[in-house]
């Protein structure tokens, strides 16, 4: 069987014995008294290839197996580490892994529960680092054995930072994608151009004022930024009509939450963007549309966007009416506080706008 090359050379001839000699070695399979047989050679190859430091120790805590990850982390080659006490190689003073390992090997009962500790550790070149050490005890050929896995905290943190950066890039790309979708519908309807953006900024401010976390508030911003995307299905002449809508036209316009939902429902956003689009004309008392949802059936995100939508729309000019004052917009949401609109959202929005001198641009972030 071909084995992978290791940093310290081809060691095929040195693999067996060690784990491979453990004739009765096995792992519990979850049923009392049953032991699952282990493919020793495959296990040993796997351990040697792992990037984590994986070590196998004998009854006296001496190294029986030293993975390539251990070589990379500690700097000792397989030959240098083999047969030497682990504590002598990597422990710093009597604390940490040295004391933990000594206590484990001296235990009266065997095997012991797995234990994980944070420990100072020493490399071959004398440099110190902090590592997470997991000690697992088992029995092989009637001898006590200890499997040790070591992770470098510094490496873990570097991986976390790289992952966070990757997620942030993904989030920014998704945000740009959503905003582009929002601009698509606004391009057809000059009277509502900017409405979704202003609604989004107000909704996000209200969410933050209500104590929602930044990530959830970001989802509300993005949902509000496309909440009217379904209007792409409404003929431009209806959107731009300077008079009140006729009954048939009203039905066409009222389809837009469902149309919008169907456009984006299959995009796997990490926020309830599709629900915000679908529910942004629902009222607490069930008098809204398209589903007539009531109370908590409406997601909190949508309950915030509903209020921001009304305030922004009323305070902006429309073909069929001039802009209303902010006082009128606030009166509207307060008149329907608890019937159409979530009281906490209304209170938060009202307080924010009043604090901003009744100017939307002073509130919306
Ligand atoms: Fe709408």
Q: 329 with 166: CB under 8 angstroms?
A: no
- Half-sphere exposure (CA, 13 Å, Cβ side) for 129? 18
Supply the DSSP symbol for 202: H
Residues with CB under 5 A from ligand 1 (ion): 228
CA of 4 to the centre of ligand 1 (A): 61
CA of 267 to the centre of ligand 1 (A): 20
Contacts of 337 (CB under 8 A, 6+ apart): 343, 346, 347
Supply the DSSP symbol for 1: -
Q: 101 with 144: CB under 8 angstroms?
A: no
Name the nearest CA neighbour of 337 among 298, 307, 300: 307
Name the nearest CA neighbour of 210 among 117, 98, 348: 348
CA of 78 to the centre of ligand 1 (A): 67
CA of 158 to the centre of ligand 1 (A): 44
Residue 63 has pLDDT above 60, yes or no: yes
CA distance 4 to 47: 12
Contacts of 85 (CB under 8 A, 6+ apart): 60, 61, 62, 63
CA of 288 to the centre of ligand 1 (A): 11
CA of 357 to the centre of ligand 1 (A): 26
CA of 256 to the centre of ligand 1 (A): 7
Beta-bridged to residue 136, according to DSSP, are 147
Name the nearest CA neighbour of 124 among 5, 45, 8, 6: 8
Give the global pTM.
0.59
CA of 212 to the centre of ligand 1 (A): 23
Q: Determine the 3-state secondary structure of 287 from DSSP.
A: coil
CA of 208 to the centre of ligand 1 (A): 22
Q: Which domains does the chain have, with CATH numbers?
A: 12-153 (3.30.450.20), 162-363 (1.10.3210.10)
Q: Determine the 3-state secondary structure of 27 from DSSP.
A: strand
CA of 229 to the centre of ligand 1 (A): 8
CA of 170 to the centre of ligand 1 (A): 28
Per-residue pLDDT of 161-217, as tens digits, reads 777 788 888 888 888 888 888 888 878 776 667 889 899 999 999 999 999 999 999
CA of 279 to the centre of ligand 1 (A): 9
Beta-bridged to residue 85, according to DSSP, are 62
Q: DSSP letters of 77-130?
A: -HHHHTTSBHHHHHB-TTSTHHHHHHHHHT-SSSSPPPEEEEEEEE-TTS-EEE
CA of 263 to the centre of ligand 1 (A): 15
Dihedral sign computed on CA atoms, order 94, 96, 99, 101 = negative
CA of 177 to the centre of ligand 1 (A): 20
Dihedral sign computed on CA atoms, order 84, 85, 86, 92 = negative
CA distance 211 to 188: 36
CA of 10 to the centre of ligand 1 (A): 68
CA distance 110 to 342: 60
Residue 148 has pLDDT above 90, yes or no: yes
CA of 176 to the centre of ligand 1 (A): 21
Give residue 18's pLDDT.
43
CA of 266 to the centre of ligand 1 (A): 20
Q: 13 with 28: CB under 8 angstroms?
A: no
pLDDT band at 141 (very low <50, low <70, confident <90, very high): confident
Per-residue pLDDT of 227-283, as tens digits, reads 999 998 888 888 777 677 777 888 898 999 999 999 999 988 889 999 999 999 999
Residue 3 has pLDDT above 50, yes or no: no
Q: How many CB atoms lie within 10 A of CB 75?
A: 16
CA of 330 to the centre of ligand 1 (A): 18
């Amino acid at each position: 069987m071909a084995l992978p090359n290791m940093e310290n050379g081809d060691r095929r001839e040195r693999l067996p014995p060690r784990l491979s000699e453990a004739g009765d070695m096995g792992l519990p399979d979850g049923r009392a008294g049953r032991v699952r047989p282990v493919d020793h050679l495959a296990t040993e190859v796997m351990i040697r290839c792992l990037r984590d430091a994986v070590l196998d120790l004998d009854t006296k805590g001496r190294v029986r197996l030293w993975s390539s990850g251990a070589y990379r982390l500690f700097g000792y080659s397989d030959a240098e580490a083999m047969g030497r006490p682990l504590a002598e190689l990597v422990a710093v003073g009597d604390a940490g892994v040295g004391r933990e390992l000594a206590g484990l090997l001296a235990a009266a009962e065997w095997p012991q529960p797995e234990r994980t500790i944070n420990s100072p550790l020493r490399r071959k070149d004398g440099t110190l680092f902090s590592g997470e050490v997991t000690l697992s005890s088992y029995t092989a050929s009637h001898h006590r054995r200890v499997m040790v896995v070591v992770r470098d905290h510094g490496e873990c943190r570097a991986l976390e930072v790289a992952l966070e950066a990757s997620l942030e890039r993904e989030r920014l790309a998704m945000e740009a994608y959503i905003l582009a979708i929002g601009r698509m519908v606004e391009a057809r309807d000059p009277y509502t151009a900017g409405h979704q953006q202003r609604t989004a900024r107000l909704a996000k401010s209200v969410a933050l004022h209500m104590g929602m976390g930044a990530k959830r508030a970001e989802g509300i911003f993005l949902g509000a930024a496309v909440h009217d995307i379904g209007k792409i299905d409404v003929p431009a002449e209806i959107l731009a009509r300077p008079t009140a809508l006729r009954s048939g036209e009203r039905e066409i316009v009222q389809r837009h939450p469902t149309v919008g939902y169907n456009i984006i429902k299959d995009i796997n956003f990490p926020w309830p963007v599709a629900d915000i689009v679908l529910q942004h004309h629902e009222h607490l008392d069930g008098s809204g549309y398209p589903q007539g949802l009531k109370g908590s059936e409406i997601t909190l995100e949508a309950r915030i966007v509903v209020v921001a939508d009304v305030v922004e729309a009323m305070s902006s000019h429309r073909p069929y009416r001039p802009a209303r004052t902010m006082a009128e917009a606030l009166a509207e949401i307060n008149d329907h506080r608890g019937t159409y609109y979530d009281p906490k959202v209304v209170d938060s929005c009202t307080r924010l706008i009043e604090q901003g001198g009744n100017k939307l641009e002073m509130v919306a972030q």
